Amino acid sequence: MIICTLFCTKYDIVSEVKTENIRKAVRENEKFSRSRFIQVEKLGTSLKMKFQQPVSGVMKI
């Protein structure tokens, strides 16, 4: 499990996490679901996650 601390306005970079794990974590973490997670982009071994509003907190993956 990877614990990601997020303090972002429109995106955050999470290294070496698969897209399906991010999506699963978003479904399981109500705070992030309410943040209207909208997109994941693969950037090498990292992912760029886009939100429709600022988000902060800790996501367990």
Question: pLDDT (tens digit, 9 = 90+) per residue, 4-29?
Answer: 555 444 445 454 555 666 667 666 66
- The two tokens of residue 16 are 């070496």
Q: Whole-number mean pLDDT of the chain? A: 57
Residues spanned by the domain of 32: 3-60
**How many structural domains comprise the chain?**
1
Quote the pLDDT of residue 9.
47
DSSP per residue, 9-60: SSEEEEET--HHHHHHHHHH-HHHHHTTEEEEEEETTEEEEEESS-EEEEEE
Instruction: Give the predicted TM-score (pTM) of the model.
Output: 0.30
Cα distance between residue 4 and residue 6, in whole Å: 6
Return the percentage of the chain with pLDDT > 70, whole number.
0
Quote the pLDDT of residue 60.
57
Quote the pLDDT of residue 1.
46
> Which letter does DSSP use for residue 2 in this model?
-
